[in-house]
Structure 1
Amino acid sequence: MTCPDNVSFSHFLVIPRVTVTGANAISSPITYGFPSITNFLGMMWALQRKVSSAGLSDVTFHGVGVVCHASRLHAARFWGGSGVGMVNTFSQTRNPLNSRGQVAPIIEEGRINLNVSFVFSVNCPRWSLAPASTVKSDLSIILHTLMTLRAASGTLDQDPSISPVQREPWLLGNTPNIESEFMETRFSLLPGFSLVGRHDALIERLRHLRSTSMVEANLMDALVSFCRHEWSYNQHAGEWERTSPISDGWLVPMPVGYVGISDLSGPGDIPESRDNSVPHHFVESIYSVGEWVSPHRISSPVDLIWHADRGQSGIYRCLNSYSANRIHEDD
């Protein structure tokens, strides 16, 4: 299996059944329904800093995977009238009165409640030799530290509907036998689905469009084609027929990072920026295609992991090895 980055890691850390309340459901300017994977990477980096401050400076996080067990979008569905059909709209909250006693404006927000399990790739060689009691103590520190953080602006807590034993974090050593060990433990992540990268499907869809009716199709056309179903009326058969390609799998468009649209500014060069101690870059979202896959169809925890990459100047993206490993297995 291909490792998700060039840095070796010793373990996979699974923190099961975490509830996320009020997470941001608007993942990008054109997608919604689940937080962007960049939110969970940001949570991981915050966890890294907190864990180091708590005395576990030899524990290094390299990537994160998310298995979603349940979700509830804060939205209402209503009939939009003739020619519009059913419409989904986010449920909004009324903000308190402002300092002048006036009604504060309603700023549209999209929120979602989640029940997820986190899978982290972690490097801590000490765990391979440490007593079980020491490892358990370290995992308890990590778990309680995670509960103090936010994921996509949502508050974290452990799922109270399952037993304390089922909520305990557990480890898998990144050994040559990792695939066989994961085959035995992956069912503990069910029922659920994990979002993995399928950039290969986007490229294949572009080839399909260019070979049919859209000779000048670009990647945006291919991305949009995953968002809609196209139909045409067959007069000879007297019925509607779907003309858009039928995807093999639960494929969805998703943001996978950012690309710079300006020069990188030095620390403090941009007035009133959030942090004047770091460089500043104006960016726009990068899009690709992901697939929701059940963990029992994944052969290695490596395929669950997303990690950050800065392979090119001005490009900040999240990478996942599922596509590469899938192509290799198909070959």
Structure 2
Amino acid sequence: MSKHLLTLPRLRVQNANCISSPMTWGFPAITAFTGFMVALQRRLMQKAGEANALAASLRFESVGVVCHRFEPQVTTGGYTRSFALTRNPVLQDGGTAAIVEEGRAHLDISLVFTVHTAQGYVSDEDAQAAAEAVAAEVAGMRLAGGSIMPTLQKLRAPQRTPRMEVLKAEPEDQLKQFKQLRRRLLPGFALVTRDDVLQQRLQTLQAEHAAQATTTSASAAPTLLDAWLDLSRINHRAQSDEATGQVTWKQDARPGWLVPMPVGFATLSSYETGTVANARDANTPFRFVESVYSIGQWVSPHRLEIAEAFMWKPEYDPELGLYRCVNGYRAPDDKAPSAEADMAAERGDSENDTSSSNPNQLDFD
């Protein structure tokens, strides 16, 4: 089997679900994109013999997400924002229907899939035909509950044309290939995991707690939840100058554009097939689950070296009952750039463009 990179650039999604979990809102959960990948493969398999034979034989492994534009449908006045809700039709008796709060957002994204084909050699013409067949199938699907709209024709052809290319075998060739791909993904930001930052913050909080325990009354030791909440907010701390007596407020340094995010689900209880009334599928065992959380980071594609760095794939651990999306990003040894530096560098590059079970996660309602 040969391995390919399938790129669907500049997808416009209207009214996508932006309530990603019980505790977060904003960009849709990464499980929405891995679920979209599975649904796409199933639809292609069902149309084997009707559509492009190569497209129907594709086996999807992982998906990378690059966001070019995010427009949440919220109110803009005041400090506190609320979702812009739609008015439902009146009831039969003329009464007002109840309003169900739902968060919606418009997206402009690019998707990059890692796919496998049974064919040993695929010509450029066949690969392009397969990419266009997949794009045609995607046009009739929903992504994160939103509708996929036609690509804007004002974009240049390289920015709006789907592509499928063989993933090079040699690391040097892969680097050169990905450099061309990431330039086509600019301007934008890719979502990656930062489990290491979550673990580092936990160690910092535990060290601060141990130092304070010697001078103050004992309190509960920090947990992963405390570290996750600490990274989910902007902290301002007061620092006093003993010489002048002046107090200044400083913001905690961050290693980039960090965001709290759901990464999967953890099993609460399991039931045999057919034992739960009104289940969607009577042939599949039923499970109640809760969300699993971690920390993610938005990184400009030009800072990534390989495609696997922003690829997500679902994994399942039957012993732990854990459904989790994993990502292969590894932070560089040097200090990670700030979000402002990322955006500044991204603008410069875009102007010159010519073409498993993890201890660093949270599971709770």
The one of 201, 204, 211 equivalent to 1:205 is 201
Match of 2:26 in 1: 33
Task: Please tell me the root mean square deviation across aligned C-alpha atoms, in Å.
Answer: 2.1
Q: CA deviation at 1:276?
A: 1.7
Q: Structure 1's 312 and 239: CA in aligned 2 closer, same or farther, altered over 3 A?
A: farther
- Give the distance between the partners of 1:134 and 1:232, measured in 2 at CA: 59
- Residue 111 of structure 2 is aligned to residue 103 of structure 1: no
- Give the distance between the partners of 2:308 and 2:239, measured in 1 at CA: 46
Match of 1:68 in 2: 67
Deviations, residues 177-218 of structure 1 (Å, cap 9, x unaligned): 212211133111000001101101100110111111477110
Match of 1:156 in 2: 148
The one of 246, 253, 262 equivalent to 1:255 is 262
Unaligned 5+ segments in structure 1 are: 1-7, 80-85
Q: CA deviation at 1:248?
A: 0.8
- Give the distance between the partners of 2:88 and 2:107, measured in 1 at CA: 23
Q: Is contact 2:131–2:164 with CA below 8 Å preserved after alignment?
A: no
Deviations, residues 238-267 of structure 1 (Å, cap 9, x unaligned): 23323x6421111111000000111x2122
Match of 1:3 in 2: none
The one of 316, 321, 324 equivalent to 2:323 is 316
Among the aligned pairs, what percent are the same residue? 34
Q: Structure 1's 77 and 37: CA in aligned 2 closer, same or farther, altered over 3 A?
A: same
- Give the distance between the partners of 1:280 and 1:13, measured in 2 at CA: 33
Q: CA deviation at 1:312?
A: 4.3
Q: Structure 1's 162 and 260: CA in aligned 2 closer, same or farther, altered over 3 A?
A: same
- Give the distance between the partners of 1:271 and 1:249, measured in 2 at CA: 46
Which amino acid in 2 is paired with 1:75?
A: V
What secondary structure, in the 3-state scheme, does the structure 2 residue paired with 1:229 have? Answer: coil
Match of 1:5 in 2: none
- Give the distance between the partners of 2:166 and 2:333, measured in 1 at CA: 23
Deviations, residues 50-91 of structure 1 (Å, cap 9, x unaligned): 111222442100111110001100001333xxxxxx111111
Which amino acid in 1 is paired with 2:127?
A: V
Q: TM-score with structure 2 length normalisation?
A: 0.80
Q: Is contact 2:237–2:252 with CA below 8 Å preserved after alignment?
A: no
The one of 215, 219, 234 equivalent to 1:229 is 234
What secondary structure, in the 3-state scheme, does the structure 1 residue paired with 2:317 have? Answer: coil
Match of 1:282 in 2: 288
Q: Is contact 1:22–1:153 with CA below 8 Å preserved after alignment?
A: yes
Q: Is contact 1:119–1:304 with CA below 8 Å preserved after alignment?
A: no
What secondary structure, in the 3-state scheme, does the structure 2 residue paired with 1:185 have? Answer: helix
Which of 8-17 and 289-298 deviates more? 8-17
Larger RCO, structures 1/2 (Cα 8 Å, 6+ apart): 1
Match of 2:15 in 1: 22
From the CA coordinates, give the structure whose radius of gyration is larger.
Answer: 2
Match of 1:238 in 2: 246
What secondary structure, in the 3-state scheme, does the structure 2 residue paired with 1:89 have? Answer: coil
What secondary structure, in the 3-state scheme, does the structure 2 residue paired with 1:90 have? Answer: coil
What secondary structure, in the 3-state scheme, does the structure 1 residue paired with 2:63 have? Answer: strand
Q: TM-score with structure 1 length normalisation?
A: 0.88
